[in-house]
């Protein structure tokens, strides 16, 4: 499915957006029709307006109470319930951002139909006046890619198929890609990626994408655990049910790559995307609780829980990235349940020691409706990730500050990068909302895209 706007033409019907308690715009009034229809401008309430011949003249959609507007990011997506045809927004109420409306409309078009149903042509909207249509289409297309990847079950999206998806994207946008696979990981000093993925029937791999050859360097590292059984510390069945989404960091990185390429941002920077793609499986050669593993950086890691595998594969990839001294490195990972306990599914925590970078990222996140919340790299917790017999512990005991200790673990492998930020995302929408159907969802990509001009200036 490809997001699209209706072409600008005279053959479109008007759609009026109205806040609860406001008077209808004069052109939207059709005698007592709206009142007789029970229209009260509740959020998402639609009133179809007849013309004199009994046809459809236009429609009114309610936005609800202004005081409650912040509860929904993309109210305009509710207008996907309109009859099929081409529409345009008329007489916009003051304060509504055309760019946000444009993107919300496009995101509302998303449907995952790989296994059931088929794409259906619904209503189409002319891009709102004042909005950047090309940018909105680029962002929505990147988000659609992320959602499709997360929603695809692991049986159809193992490490090999994730590599294929990355190669297909690179072919489309003109990026370069190299892959280190299987035993070559051990030979080329990626021992943690190899250890986590070696028990799977599908070989682990490190996908390395590059684009652009001038300007500051941005490196994205996306966790690509295509399915996580928990390894020998096997997850309960209920906890395993959503583990197809454990590659949400990789999916978000690829979606962001697509956005950056389509908006022309890759012409102003050197961009690298690293994805350690593995399955954390159970077999006779699986890594074990109590094992001490070497890392590419030379630090040893005591494995106290094989279900804390994401930070292991990220560690080798981040070390490799940092060897090139990027100006900014960002890791994206569905990493800890502790982050969800603290902030819920909608607000990923992020960690960054550079105050100006963190401020730009959080400000952009709130402006574009892709929220993030800054959490601290709390140095006093460093001793929690330092066990007795190795340099690092992948799963500190005690159960407290789990997202922070995971971020501290990763920071050990970011040395060499000019600045580092880590996003502990969820990658899943547990209940449907306008523009955000239940299922896979990108988190942080739009915030990063909006903040980059300031961060890399």
Positions annotated as catalytic residues are 235, 311
User: What is the separation of C-alpha 393 from the centre of its chain, rounded to a whole number of angstroms?
Assistant: 28
Unique residue bearing structure tokens 């699986």: 286
What are 325's two structure tokens? 């001294």
- 159 φ/ψ sector (left φ>0, alpha ψ -120 to 50, else beta): alpha
The answer to whether residues 125 and 89 touch, using CB atoms and an 8 Å cutoff, is: yes
Cβ proximity of 50 and 60 under 8 Å:
no
Q: Could you give phi then psi for residue 218, rounded to 5 degrees? A: -115, 130
Burial letters 418-451, b for 16+ CB under 10 A, else e: ebbbbbbbbbbbeeebbbbbebbbbbbbbbbbbb
Q: Three-state SS for 89?
A: strand
- Classify the phi-psi angles of 396: left when phi > 0, otherwise alpha if psi is within -120 to 50, otherwise beta: beta
Q: Tell me whether strands 86-90 and 13-19 are parallel, antiparallel or unpaired.
A: parallel
Residue 329 phi, psi dihedral angles, 5° rounding: -120, 135
């Amino acid at each position: 499915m490809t997001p699209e706007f209706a072409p600008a033409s005279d053959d479109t019907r008007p759609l009026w957006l109205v806040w609860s308690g406001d008077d209808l715009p004069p052109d939207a009034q059709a005698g007592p029709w709206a009142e007789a229809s029970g229209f009260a401008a509740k959020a998402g309430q639609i009133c179809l307006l007849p013309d004199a011949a009994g046809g459809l003249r236009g429609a009114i959609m309610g936005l609800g109470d202004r005081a409650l507007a912040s509860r929904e990011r993309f109210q305009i997506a509710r207008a996907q319930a309109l009859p099929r045809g081409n529409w345009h927004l008329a007489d916009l109420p003051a304060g509504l951002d055309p760019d946000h409306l444009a993107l919300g409309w496009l995101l509302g078009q998303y449907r995952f139909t790989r296994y059931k149903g088929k794409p259906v042509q619904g209503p189409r909207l002319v891009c709102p006046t004042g909005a950047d249509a090309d940018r909105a289409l680029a962002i929505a297309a990147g988000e659609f890619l992320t959602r499709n990847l997360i929603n695809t079950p692991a049986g159809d999206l193992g490490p090999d198929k994730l590599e294929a998806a990355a190669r297909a994207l690179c072919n489309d946008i003109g990026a370069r890609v190299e892959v280190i696979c299987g035993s070559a990981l051990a030979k080329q000093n990626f021992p943690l990626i190899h250890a986590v993925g070696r028990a799977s029937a599908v070989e682990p791999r490190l996908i390395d994408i590059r684009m652009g050859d001038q300007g500051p360097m941005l490196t994205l590292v996306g966790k690509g655990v295509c399915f996580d059984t928990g390894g020998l510390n096997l997850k309960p069945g209920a906890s395993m049910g959503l583990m197809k989404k454990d590659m949400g960091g990789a999916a978000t990185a690829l979606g962001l790559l697509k956005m950056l390429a389509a908006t022309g941002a890759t012409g102003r920077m050197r961009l690298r995307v690293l994805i350690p793609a593995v399955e954390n499986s159970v077999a006779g050669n699986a890594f074990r609780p109590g094992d001490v593993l070497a890392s590419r950086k030379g630090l040893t890691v005591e494995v106290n829980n094989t279900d804390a595998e994401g930070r292991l594969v990220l560690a080798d990839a981040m070390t490799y990235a940092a060897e090139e001294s990027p100006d900014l490195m960002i890791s994206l990972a569905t990493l800890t349940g502790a982050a969800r306990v603290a902030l819920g599914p909608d607000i990923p925590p992020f960690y960054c020691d550079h105050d100006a970078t963190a401020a730009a990222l959080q400000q952009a996140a709130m402006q574009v409706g892709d929220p993030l919340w800054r959490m601290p790299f709390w140095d006093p917790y460093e001793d929690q990730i330092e066990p007795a017999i190795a340099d690092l512990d992948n799963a500190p005991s005690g159960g407290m500050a789990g997202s922070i200790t995971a971020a501290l673990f990763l920071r050990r492998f970011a040395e060499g990068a000019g600045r580092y930020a880590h996003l502990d995302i969820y990658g899943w929408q547990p209940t449907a909302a306008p523009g955000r159907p239940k299922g896979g969802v990108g988190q942080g990509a739009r915030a990063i895209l909006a903040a980059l001009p300031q961060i890399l200036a």
